[in-house]
Chain A
Amino acid sequence: MAHETEHTSNHPSFNQYVVIAIILFAITIVEFGIIWDKIGIEDDLGAAVIPILIGLSAIKFAIVIMYYMHLKFDHRLFGTVFVSGLVLSFLVGGALLALFISFDGEPREYAIANAVPYEGHEASEAAEGHEDADAGSDTPVAAGPVALAVGAVGETLAFSETSITATSGSEVTITFDNPSSNNQHNLVIVQDGTKDAVATDGTTAGPANDWVAPGDARVVANTALLAPGTSGDVTFTAPAPGTYQFVCTFPGHNFTMFGDFIVR
């Protein structure tokens, strides 16, 4: 009869475990040293950096499995079982990466074409003007009829302004310019916090309704759907003071193409 007993006879001693811990620590320090720009080895190593880092990590990985997880001393079956899963995940993951990187260039071109540089969090906060109601708004506040100009930015799904302002009760005309060559856009003024819900309902309403659900109470005003390279405007009375949003409700655009409309 076989028993459920554990092998306690051949495992490393306390000292050996300490040595292993020191080795793991040392390898980590080496890895950090390789990429630390104050030492600057990384440039000298060039393309070899990645295989070296992966190799060092693989050593740490193997040490923990073999010694801490005791696989070196245990029955082979455990090792077989675990390593099968491990090897499979590497093979399948590797195949997946090969399919994306080597054989399909599309996504990378899209990112290159559309990604915007990051100027740092303070810079982007200031540009968006979200935190400070007074900052970031270049258009003067007027009491009489107001003309505001907003555009889409190139081929990206973004407006040129992140915040526009008007006085409650004034007659506002927003001229919206769509300079892109591929994208249709609209500009819809909505109640605070409803942009995504309006966009969702707009999707159901369809292009014939300019992607805005007819009679949607959350919509203050909206332009028509603008074809690429066209402009359009909408005139309306600025509603009660508060924060509203303007958003493009073409399906999917509402995630990035919106801004604040602040009414004083």
Chain B
Amino acid sequence: MAAITGVIPRPTSYAGIWGWMTTVDHKRIAVLYGVTAFILLLIGGLEAGVIRMQLASADNDLVGPGRFNQMFTMHATTMVFMVIMPLSVSFFNFVIPLAIGARDVAFPRLNALSFWIFLFGAILMNVSFLVNQVPDAGWFSYANLTEKPFSVNRGLDFWAIGLLVMGTSSVAGALNFVVTIINLRAPGMSMMRMPVFVWMTLITSILLVLAFPVITVGLIELVMDRNFGTHFFIPTEGGDPVLWQHLFWVFGHPEVYILILPPMGIVSEVLPTFSRKPLFGYPFIVFSGIVIGIMGWAVWSHHMFTVGLGPVANSVFTITTMLIAVPTGVKIFNWIGTLWRGSIEFSTSMMFALGFVALFIVGGLSGISHAVSPSDFQQQDTYYIVAHIHYVLFGGSIFGIFAGIYYWWPKITGKMLNETTGRLHFWLTFIGMNLTFFPMHFLGLNGMPRRIYTYSAEFGWENLNQVASIGYVVLFVGFLAFLFNVWQTRNSRKVGHDPWDAPGVEWSISSPPPPYNFAELPQIEGRDHYWIVKENAEAAGTPITGPEALVDESTIHMPSPSYWPIFTAVGVALIGGGLLSHYALSFVGGAIAMMGIVGWSNEPAAAPSEHH
């Protein structure tokens, strides 16, 4: 087997496309995730555009019902699994090692594998458009609509297998970050000195490794029903479609906390920086995050209040769901406490963070009304739920992510995004978002169901739908403003290592950081380590004026690039692709993956090298 590694020499440099394909550097992998996720954001956004244009007027015929079903299915699946999750992972990748004072993650090649599997999985799912067999049963694909007599083409197989492939990526990545955070914190960084973003990443990663196996089983059972003759969800054979719902939502509810906790972590970094105050109530924010992670397992059937579980089950889940609002409220009050009497700087990042707090509160309020099962009976499957989802996922997650982008952009690229364009981006997004989704509360309460491709004018829903569709256009322009900002600042002046005068240790090194991150692993002085360091230096009369000095790279032992991750990922993707076309391909993929694993294990983490 050593012969395999001898055929193609191990990559040594970072240059060119091959350098990107074989990178194991967390900073580069972060960029790969970020760019891929933004392309998918565009695709998911266009899918939303079709929805909004079709619903803008009554009795519209822009698209037919079949295509419309595909649009809302792919819009949601794309946004949840191929946009928000990878954007969060992009931040995990870039920030976590820097924030804990490490040189890279615990398993750099596994990190690369996660990205490539994600990319191939996302491509696999979107290949469904090329063969015109697009998933169309909703992003939660309730059985038994998803079974063969009713969903006859391979769309649902694309959906299930695409998710199985991407799930592998998520679990591998999450395993990596759990070990990284537990085991690679710099000396002096106890758990209670970790930045909140690091805490939220840890909790999210634990949720990922525990929740994904459950939906994996559900997806396997669905694929088996559709292709291997089983009857797990077919009622006429004794199977139960409700079991699918349980398996999906036991995963699905922790999943929504997976979507929101990292942006909450980002906001917990941004607010103190631009209030020039330490985070208020750090232990409460940390513990409420832990409580949310644990309680998130006890509320899943609130997505199933109208299924007929019975009054006892409904009551239990009403209570648990109402209780889980408490830790979220605790966070919000602590964020407000951070702002209180702070010296607020309204940078674009800060505005997105403030927008997060405001909009998430709105989403949370509608959430509380869902928690109460009798009122949920009125709201379920109406646009009221669509409003809730988008206030928490767009107003929440996406706003938090943009706050993080504007905050850490200088650290990643060494340049600042333009503040004026950023402000434009913010206001267009904020106004557009509210224009699009606020009317949906009323539409829902007025009875407009979800997932209908058109409606009759006599319902009186047309005006609010038009407002929502106009809001979409505003959002789209806002997104273009962001893209313009990125392009506009590509050649702007380089900024220093610490443009915000921020508290995290990642700001003590150059922007962008050297490949080895820290010349010497830092000794962490406390929470808000860099503020403490800067204050002490100031007090000692030797204020800090620049980043940690760069050193000769060859003196630092870093993991070397490797082609095994992308090689193995190709194998995994072929296993999935084979299941969708010719089974022989799956065996080929399996063989490639095995070869990849063998080659990988034979390769040391760092090449025995020129550098000692």
Contact = CB atoms under 8 A, between A and B. Distances in A.
A92 B250 contact: yes
B154 interface: no
B309 A199 contact: no
Interface stretch (A30-38, A96-104, A126-134, A224-232): A96-104
Contact of B240 (A107, A196, A200, A252): A107
Interface in A68-127: 77, 81, 84-85, 88, 91-92, 95-96, 99-100, 103-104, 107, 110-111, 114-115
A16 interface: no
B150 A203 contact: yes
A107 B236 CA distance: 10
B152 A204 contact: yes
A255 B310 contact: no
A255 B297 contact: no
A251 B238 contact: no
B310 A103 contact: yes
Contact of B182 (A77, A91, A157): A77
B152 A255 contact: no
B309 A99 contact: yes
A195 interface: no
Given A77-B182, A255-B231, A88 B210 contact: yes
A256 interface: yes
A255 B238 contact: no
A81 B250 CA distance: 20
B150 A251 contact: yes
Nearest to B231: A255
Contact of A99 (B152, B231, B238, B313): B313
A109 to B, nearest CB: 11
Chain A interface helix/strand/loop/mixed: helix
Interface string A193-233: 00010011001100000000000000000000000000000
Contact of B149 (A81, A92, A96, A252): A252
Contacts of A185: none
A236 to B, nearest CB: 26
Contacts of A199: 149
Contact of B236 (A100, A103, A115, A256): A256
Nearest to B238: A111
B360 to A, nearest CB: 27
Nearest to B312: A103
B328 interface: no
Given A88-B210, A96-B250, A255 B309 contact: no
B312 A255 contact: no
Interface string B80-98: 0000000000000000000
Contact of B309 (A77, A104, A115): A104
Q: How large is the interface on A (under 10, 10 to 19, 20 to 34, 35 or more residues)?
A: 20 to 34
B389 interface: no
Contacts of B231: 255
A110 B148 CA distance: 22
Interface in A155-169: 157
Contacts of B149: 199-200, 203, 251-252, 254
A56 B261 CA distance: 41
Contacts of A256: 236-237
**In the complex, which range does the number of interface residues on chain B fall in?**
20 to 34
Interface string B136-175: 0000000000001110100000000000000000000000
Contacts of B150: 203, 251
Nearest to B229: A255
A256 B206 CA distance: 43
A91 B300 CA distance: 13
A253 B150 CA distance: 12
Contacts, number: 59
A196 B148 CA distance: 10
A48 B84 CA distance: 50
Given A99-B246, A200-B152, A252-B149, A104 B236 contact: no
Contacts of A111: 238
Contacts of B210: 84-85, 88
Contacts of A107: 238, 240
B322 interface: no
B240 A96 contact: no
B466 interface: no
Nearest to A200: B152
B486 interface: no
B301 interface: yes
A91 B297 contact: yes
B214 interface: yes
B585 interface: no
Nearest to A88: B210
A199 B250 CA distance: 34
Contacts of B152: 200, 203-204
Contact of B297 (A88, A157, A204): A88
A137 B580 CA distance: 41
A110 B309 contact: no
A253 B236 contact: yes
Contacts of B234: 252, 255
A252 B236 CA distance: 7
Contacts of A115: 238
Nearest to A96: B246
A251 B237 CA distance: 13
A115 to B, nearest CB: 8
A141 to B, nearest CB: 33
Contacts of A84: 206, 210
A254 B182 CA distance: 54
Nearest to A253: B236
A99 B237 contact: no
Interface in B303-319: 308-310, 312-313
Nearest to B294: A88
B6 to A, nearest CB: 28
Interface in B225-263: 231, 234-238, 240, 242-243, 246, 250
Contacts of A77: 182
A139 to B, nearest CB: 28
A92 B235 CA distance: 23
Interface string A42-84: 0000000000000000000000000000000000010001001
Contact of B301 (A99, A251, A254): A99
Interface string A130-146: 00000000000000000
A114 B182 CA distance: 54
Contacts of A104: 242, 308-310
B308 to A, nearest CB: 8
Contacts of A92: 214, 250, 297
Greatest chain A CB density within 10 A among B236, B238, B250 is at B236
Contacts of B242: 104
Nearest to A197: B152
Q: 9 tightest CB-CB pairs across the interface, nearest first?
A: A103-B310, A251-B149, A203-B149, A103-B313, A252-B236, A200-B152, A111-B238, A107-B240, A252-B149
27 contacts: A77-B182, A85-B210, A88-B210, A92-B250, A96-B246, A99-B246, A99-B301, A99-B313, A100-B240, A100-B243, A103-B310, A103-B312, A104-B242, A104-B308, A104-B309, A107-B238, A107-B240, A200-B149, A203-B150, A203-B152, A204-B152, A252-B234, A252-B236, A254-B149, A255-B234, A255-B236, A256-B237
Given A92-B250, A96-B250, A103-B310, 12 more contacts: A85-B209, A88-B297, A96-B246, A99-B309, A99-B313, A100-B243, A103-B312, A114-B238, A196-B148, A204-B152, A252-B234, A252-B236
Interface of A: 77, 81, 84-85, 88, 91-92, 95-96, 99-100, 103-104, 107, 110-111, 114-115, 157, 196, 199-200, 203-204, 251-256
